[in-house]
Structure 1
Amino acid sequence: MSDIKLRKQALLTEEIFHEGGAIADLPLRRVAMVSVIENPFAGRYEADIAGFMKTLEPLGLAMAQRMIAALGGDASVVEGYGKGAIVGAGGELEHGALWHVPGGYAMRETLDNAKAIVPSTKKVGGVGTRLDVPITHINASYVRSHFDAMEVGMHDAPRANELALILVMSTGGRIHARVGGLAKEEISAHDGLR
């Protein structure tokens, strides 16, 4: 990661016991990690930026590994994931898109056999901007109980010349999920969708 100028990182964990109904036997755990790095393209238009995705891969892997450790070290407990990026005001939305491949690669590399696309969002914003990072099931995007999001941000980031790169993992679907649709026990196609 020598080509990445990292300013700070944060690891956020949540345990959700109920949403107004009965207390769950096992709380839903969600973890998010944010890495705030210098945006090497801030302040100017650069036509060729794709090479930076490869540079970001080790950062993504390190983040995913720390998140699994925060969940107890067993990657098999992870059922949901998502990723996102907040681009400081000196950058452009496409700089956030640089996180699509390395963020997804990091999740797939650390979560054996994850088949579903890693949902993603990004936006340009100032210091203190927050992002609702979408979450879906790691093996089947249509598992409705796992449609979720986690709001993530930092009070002092991203500065105009920075990127806030985000990964999210969860141990299950929404507490008290009851709106039908494909259940995780019914995953059969193994195509990342159903």
Structure 2
Amino acid sequence: MKKEIRKFYTIVEETHIEGFKEIDKPVGIAAALAVIKNPYAGTYVEDLNPLIDEYSAYLGEELPRRAMQALGISGEEVEGFGKGALVGLDGEIEHGSGLIHTMKFGNPFRSMCNNAETLLPAAEKRASAGASLDLAIKHKMDPKTRSHHMTFEVTVPDAPRADEIMVAAVVTSSGRAHPRIGSLHKELE
């Protein structure tokens, strides 16, 4: 199997005012997406390992690198992260899940984020070109830090085609603006 990447797409958001109040430090979020050919579209295949072996480790490093670069931050400065896959209509959700729910994808991603410790939250679904995907985000070191629980909506106008998969990585430079609900740690005391 040979990599077939039709395009990379990057989305950056920088929020300065939230809730009608200025933010001390702008909230930066960036998602990097790759639109790849799905070799299993339109057919059932038992062994997904060739797809995983070809793409997972590469995308697990390339996508967070592009997202961090777009925000102008290092892995040390990343505070929150997440991942996702949007599978075209002739594919199975399992094809996208196979790509992102492996250590081959997650370990390079966590490593690039200064050896993050938490599991990457994920979103995956099947849809037609132009559909949106809401990427779940959590703190890279502590999943109970509620200030970093958020989502980021991504879409690529012409992807995924029926025989493609859109794979995404998202990073943040902080948590939500003006967090006020506290940590889950406090409720567990």
Query: Please, what TM-score do these two structures have when normalized by structure 2?
Result: 0.91
How far the C-alpha of 1:170 sits from its partner, in A, is 0.4
Question: For residues 11 and 120 of structure 1, what CA distance do their matches in structure 2 show?
Answer: 18
Question: For residues 163 and 82 of structure 1, what CA distance do their matches in structure 2 show?
Answer: 17
In the alignment, is residue 29 of structure 1 matched against residue 8 of structure 2? no
In the alignment, is residue 100 of structure 1 matched against residue 96 of structure 2? no
Question: For residues 76 and 22 of structure 1, what CA distance do their matches in structure 2 show?
Answer: 28
In the alignment, is residue 156 of structure 1 matched against residue 158 of structure 2? yes
Question: For residues 109 and 10 of structure 1, what CA distance do their matches in structure 2 show?
Answer: 22
Listed one character per residue, the Cα deviations across residues 146-188 of structure 1 (whole Å, up to 9, x for unaligned) are: 10000011111100000000000001111011112248xx9xx
| Secondary structure class of the residue paired with 1:13 | strand
Q: Which has the higher strand share?
A: 2
Q: Where do 5+ consecutive residues of structure 2 fail to align?
A: none
How far the C-alpha of 1:6 sits from its partner, in A, is 0.6
- Residue 140 of structure 1 is matched in structure 2 by 142
- Residue 64 of structure 2 is matched in structure 1 by 64
Question: For residues 132 and 111 of structure 2, what CA distance do their matches in structure 1 show?
Answer: 27
| Secondary structure class of the residue paired with 2:45 | coil
Listed one character per residue, the Cα deviations across residues 39-59 of structure 1 (whole Å, up to 9, x for unaligned) are: 011110000013422221113
Say if 2:63 and 2:169, in contact at 8 Å, map to a contact too: yes
Instruction: Look up the equivalent residue of 2:11 and give its one-letter code.
Output: L
- Residue 116 of structure 1 is matched in structure 2 by 118
| Secondary structure class of the residue paired with 1:76 | coil
Of all paired residues, the percent bearing the same amino acid is 37
Question: For residues 49 and 111 of structure 1, what CA distance do their matches in structure 2 show?
Answer: 27
The 1:45–1:35 alpha-carbon spacing in structure 2 relative to 1, beyond 3 Å, is same
How far the C-alpha of 1:116 sits from its partner, in A, is 0.5
In the alignment, is residue 83 of structure 1 matched against residue 83 of structure 2? yes
- Residue 40 of structure 1 is matched in structure 2 by 39
How far the C-alpha of 1:120 sits from its partner, in A, is 0.4
Instruction: Look up the equivalent residue of 1:33 and give its one-letter code.
Output: A
Say if 1:81 and 1:137, in contact at 8 Å, map to a contact too: yes
Question: For residues 82 and 182 of structure 2, what CA distance do their matches in structure 1 show?
Answer: 22
